[in-house]
Amino acid sequence: MSIISANLTGNLSYLDQDKTDNTKPLDLTSVVTTSVESLSPTNLEENDSKNSSSSISNKAQSSSLKDDDTLDKDLQFTASFQKSQLLSKLPNDKDIANQQDSVQKTSTTSTASAANELGDYGHLSTGQKRLVDDLTSRQNAANKTNLSPAEFYNKLEPSQKSTFESITNALENTTVISKDGKKTNALDTIETVDVILGEKQGSTDGKEQFRLFVTLKDGAGNNIRTAKNFENVPGHGENYKHGRQLSGGEPSIQISVSPDGKKADIDVDYESKNPVTNLFNGFKHLKPSNSDVRHADHFEKHNKKFASEAGQQPLIKKY
């Protein structure tokens, strides 16, 4: 009835304003009918439907907002969990140390395996391999062969390999100090190795065994002849008459240089040159075994003299 009252009031106000037609009768039927029709079941259902739809829409929006909040929280939780998992998998100092140790062991094993596959050649130093590689190349050219450095070196006699390794190891662990104070690694004074003499069965001449004949680099011969840490000794014949021996006593490298300073005869003396000592030891210095690293205690003497300081590589006993 409140709706009807409102409609009636509105119509009456209209009549008050329309004073020019006071004779026209008031049709309350149409007013009441219109107001009643607005309350019909159909219209009420439509209104309820609109209100219901609006309510559902509001609830849906509210639900959607809640779902978005929940989703945000889920995503935040997931991201936090993933981050925690990632952090938990990051290596600590102990893991890193173990990994580095494993890599180093693998690398060492691989290097050793590769060296073993190359035989005795595989265990040579870089400087020693340089000389063997060059000698192999020249031998292949002269003999029309196609040997690899490893094949060439591994076919040498054991006494040739022990001679090459002991002499070059002693050189590699020795410094030549020139008169002006310049220091040069003794192995770096050699341009090429021309001949490797091992044991010569039946020979009593030490000058024919256990030595290297080499070509020296430019200027190296003169530096050796005037080196501060080498002393004069008798050379080996006219072809290598300028004898120089590393100071400090035996074992010692002896480098006998040619007159033109381009060639040298190199060996290691393991027995003393002292005349008195030789009287009591049977003149060991004059025997071929004097320069054979395999003889008696020469291997131990070698490493004590040439591999006792930090950074020096010891000779490996293989022959």
Q: Is the pLDDT of residue 305 over 80?
A: yes
| SS3 track for 155-224 | CCCHHHHHHHHHHHHHHHCCEEECCCCCEEEHHHHEEEEEEEECCCCCCCCHHHCCEEEEEECCCHHHHH
Would residue 315 be called left, alpha or beta, if left means φ above 0 and alpha means ψ between -120 and 50 degrees? Answer: beta
**Which segment of 34-48, 79-93, 117-131, 282-296 scores lowest on mean pLDDT?**
34-48
Could you tell me the pLDDT band of residue 151, with boundaries at 50, 70 and 90?
very high
Please give the sequence-ordered ranges of beta strands (E in DSSP) within the chain, or none if there are none: 175-177, 183-185, 190-197, 211-216, 230-236, 240-246, 252-257, 263-269
Contacts of 157 (CB under 8 A, 6+ apart): 198, 199
Would residue 252 be called left, alpha or beta, if left means φ above 0 and alpha means ψ between -120 and 50 degrees? Answer: beta
Q: Phi and psi (nearest 5°) for 114?
A: -65, -40
pLDDT > 70: percent of the chain:
64
Task: Domain ranges for the chain, please list them.
Answer: 30-77, 129-306
Could you tell me the pLDDT band of residue 57, with boundaries at 50, 70 and 90?
low
Could you tell me the pLDDT band of residue 32, with boundaries at 50, 70 and 90?
very low
**R_g of the chain, CA atoms, integer Å:** 53
Length of the chain: 319
pLDDT at 163: 98
Q: Yes or no: say if 291 and 269 are a contact pair by the CB < 8 Å rule.
A: yes
State which amino acid sits at residue 229.
N
Q: Is the pLDDT of residue 282 over 70?
A: yes
- Summary mean pLDDT of the chain: 79
Q: Alpha-carbon distance 195 to 131, whole Å?
A: 11
Q: Which residues pair with 245 in a beta bridge?
A: 231, 254
Mean pLDDT across 80-102? 60
Mean pLDDT across 197-205? 91
pLDDT at 286: 85
Q: Yes or no: say if 188 and 172 are a contact pair by the CB < 8 Å rule.
A: no
pTM of the model: 0.66
Q: Alpha-carbon distance 180 to 226, whole Å?
A: 10
pLDDT at 216: 98
Mean pLDDT across 91-107? 62
pLDDT at 85: 56
**Which segment of 54-68, 86-100, 106-120, 257-271 scores lowest on mean pLDDT?**
54-68
Mean pLDDT across 9-34? 41
User: Higher-confidence residue: 35 or 272?
Assistant: 272
